[in-house]
A and B are shown apart, each in its own frame.
Chain A
Amino acid sequence: MCLLGAMGSGIFIDRKYFYLGLRQNVEDQFNPSKRFLVIILTMLTLLTLYSTIIPISLYVSIETIKFIQSSQFINKDLNMYHAETNTPASARTSNLNEELGQVEYIFSDKTGTLTRNLMEFFKCSIGGEIYGIGMTEIEKGVTERKGIKVQEVQTSNDSVQEKGFNFYDGRLLRGAWRNEPNHDACKEFFRCLAICHTVLPEGEESPAKIKYQAASPDEAALVLAAKNFGFFFYRRTPSMIYVRESHAERMGKTQDVSYEILNVLEFNSTRKRQSVVCRCPDGRLVLYCKGADTVIYERLGSGNDDLNKATRDHLEQFGSAGLRTLCLAYRDLAPDLYESWNEKFIKAKSSLRDREKKLDEVAELIEKELILIGATAIEDKLQEGVPSCIQTLSRAGIKIWVLTGDKMETAINIAYACNLLNNEMKQFIISSETDAIREVEERGDQTEIACFIKEDVKKQLKQSLDEASQYFCAPSGPKLGLVIDGKCLTYALDSSLRIMLLTLGLNCASVVCCRVSPLQKAQVTSLVKKGAHKITLSIGDGANDVSMIQAAHIGIGISGLEGMQAVMASDFAIAQFRFLEDLLLVHGRWSYIRLCKVVMYFFYKNLAFTLTQFWFTFNTGFSGQRFYDDWFQSLYNVIFTALPVIIVGLFDKDISPPLSKKYPELYKEGIRNKFFKWRVVAIWAFFSIYQSLVFFYFISAFSSTSQDRSGKMFGLWDVSTMAFTCVVVTINLRLLMMCNSITRWHCISVGGSILVWFVFIFLYSGITTPLDRNENMYWVIYILMSTPSFYVTLLLVPVAALLVDFLYLCVQRWFFPYDYQIIQEMHKDDIHCTGPQGVLGSKQQLIPDEERSNEISQLPREVSKHSGFAFDSPGYESFFASQSGKYVTPNAWDVARRASIRHKATPK
């Protein structure tokens, strides 16, 4: 634009315009004999003249808007206020609000974020019978989707309520199990729970006050369950376990029984089971064993096929409900058999080399011909509302990656519980725990291990990718899920395999990475951030998530429970995972739409304004004469059009929060960046060009004749003031046209801006001070307002300018509606309700899509088996650290974590 004007000026300037006084001592800018210099200098003049096109006030306005959005809206949203811990959401930075509306990948930590790190004994299966009448969230979800209303299970007042024990079934509690047909199995089941563990009791030896110290929370939950069933484990000595058994022999009778612990066959990740050999007071030798269903079933004795099959069915049922299962079994040992075995055991135990391996081998000898008792199901308690939140987010087109330090089984289990994985999905599991790898590892050569695993990972990745690629194109194919463990990830993140991993990962609806170190969490996050060019979000609670939180575009810390490190590193802090829904779908979406509107509007208003100046330049011999007074030009952005756009940036609402949560698909508009595309920019640019032409040429057309009865003519400044008035009015009215909701603040600010302009011009052209008389503008507005044509123009020009915009809005809405506009129309007549009733009420009705998915879900299909074993081996994190060699330092986070816990504990 400047160049065009400058060239024009170079050509235009000529001595023939004698009235410009170009004959003698002409300054360089207008010297006809130095045309090139004229071009350069005019260019600079025009640069300053057109500088209004770059809105400096845009930055100020946007910062203001973002600041208020985060400090007033996000921080004070009651929907994101967690009453129990008294923590509101807090935005720690104000410049990411609009990115919240465009998140496509969420990286989530598991413990503390998705789950509460609280294990609760939830169900069990004894002797082919399921006990426990609770329902997990995922089951509730399934039944709800089938259209059956979930009835809140009324737990009677006398039921046992304890942290870690969320079980109710009248058939088992308070000794009622004695009346069950399989009461012997029940007794064995409870005994197994009470004896087969490595838990230490702490505190007073009474059921109410005792505390269990366990390496894994599962174990504690199991022992706690035994206590609640009447088998109270209260004391442990190196060789004895003391259990206070109620109702064991007779109803109502309590007796203290001591079991002599002869051997403990410990849990590790290869054995996936734990056994205890004990001698009962009556001299009977029993081996109690608990472990993963796969290993236990391999070691069951013959017979009892009905029971085994029934229990297996139950295990699958538990597993798909997201519960963590363990099988319990026992074996009666003949004394001589035991003695001979014990010798071998002692020998193995005292060996110096390969002791672990030898112990495992010895254990194999006795852990066989087991008799199955039943199975336990422990709920890894999810944070409130997590499954439904995740489902909503995935409907919104957001892909969720779970990055956890836990082992694979746990991670998969949680993924099931959170609805991230289900049996209808095509799952790819890339694991380092294969026999082949284990074999190589046993040989112990580090380089060989590395090479082998790398090859293996490559092979697995390639295979998965090939298989997955046939689903990429097919629209109705199953969703894909990827599970990968940390060791494989170490190699998959290698630069040669990285692309493959990324392609596979990006095409999966959900990805679970287990056993990953904090560093790897960050690596995965930045891999996707850089590779997908999409907005990523990390959410975590502990110190080990800090690197991941910092690596993503947006970091979110869970505040309130564990330490402050994650919160300190984060951009936003919320108290619960489920608040993510509000943060993204409501606040993020709004912020995004609002800021798009603000930016677009700024672009439009400055372009339209500056272009009138540009058209004027053509009529001034390209001299760079300004059309508007200095003050008009500088106050245009600052005062006359500033406030309304901020109001829009704060208050514009297309649809209400319950609706944006009900139709999460609307969020996809943000992911696709639908409101900030070149097409949108071009449309706005078109309108500003059109409008500026209307402003300039309409007004110059009027000004060619006199405007009232006196026959006097307008000068330059009269015309420019008239044009400016029209610009201010039009630009402000255009703002109202693009609002989705108009509060009284919109009206006040728009009306106010126009009013301020008039007040300003009244004062400005009326007042003369001795110091700075503005002769140009003197009395201009009064002259203008004395002519009737001023009013006709003021009516005509804005309408003429906005007519095309209005037509566009109508046509766009009529023929190419945005999704949100349809939703608006659907709920046009709804009474605006802010309360939660609105949400509940609207949830009752099934939208056609849901009905359809229900039908699909009822179709028979191939279902993969998932039985839900996930038992934490103690100290898995340090185990992992020692395994992978290079991550010796990561233990620092453990230290930090512990420190943070202690720090939190001390103030109490």
Chain B
Amino acid sequence: MALPLTRCCRQASVLLVARRWCTSTSSPVAPATLRSSPVDPATLRSSPVAPATLRSSPVAPATLHSRLLLFLSQQFYDIDMFLNWSSRWKHGSLRRKNAYYAYTQSLYGENIATAYYILCMKGGFRYVSQSEWFRPGRWGRLNWDFLNHRETLIDEIDMSNTLINYRGMDNLVGQTSLRTLSLRGCPEVDDWSLTRLHEFQDSLEELDISHCPHITVGGLSALSHLKRLRRLDISSLPGLSSPGLVIILLEEMLPHCLITATGYDLSLRPEGGKMVEQGQRSDRGRVLEGSG
């Protein structure tokens, strides 16, 4: 196990040396000289040159802060690895939350599994024949009445501000009689999730995808499958670069649909300081009736 040993020696010597050489500009090429193997470009490459030059006073010893930064900059790849672990853990936890609820489905059937998934993600739903919404209570307490409705289909789903993503849509696509879906403000909903909406093409009438940061025009073109869509809300999508044009194209694509698109500045920008035309202001929404 020569690798950890050399790394140990390197760390020890660096700390020793750093205490003495407080005046040096940091250049972590030196650790490579401590390796037993001959120095070749690949080894040197693995210890990157730190961009920041840590300079402290020529006479006083370096502070713990600057020594710590010097140490960290020399362990760039290790820090990279730790940060990768943390981002992988985050992705993994999101994936676990959105996994397919196969166990619930095998015990109670698909409708219960969908209902349980929605409640676990802190969303809400309403059954076809009933008028009350099922939502998780305070501190995640669930009203377990939904277990009585094994065969009832879900009419409306409200997943606004939840962490639903592409994998989570697996849990919802079984609901073929869904009429309203709200994905407002979901940070993980992107174009790929929108492509899964084609499973609801025969029933979905209302869709709300406003305030989702990852949706772009490439995903909106996948909404053409939803033939029964009557109301679509695409307000405040930061991923749209030319919202006015996209709204017009969507209206052409979905002629029977009422498109709500507030939160965009649709005025024509003047070029060179000359005002060409004043369009609508951003506070008023632009709601158009499609031709029936």
Do they bind each other? no
Residues of chain A whose beta carbon lies under 8 Å from any beta carbon of chain B: none
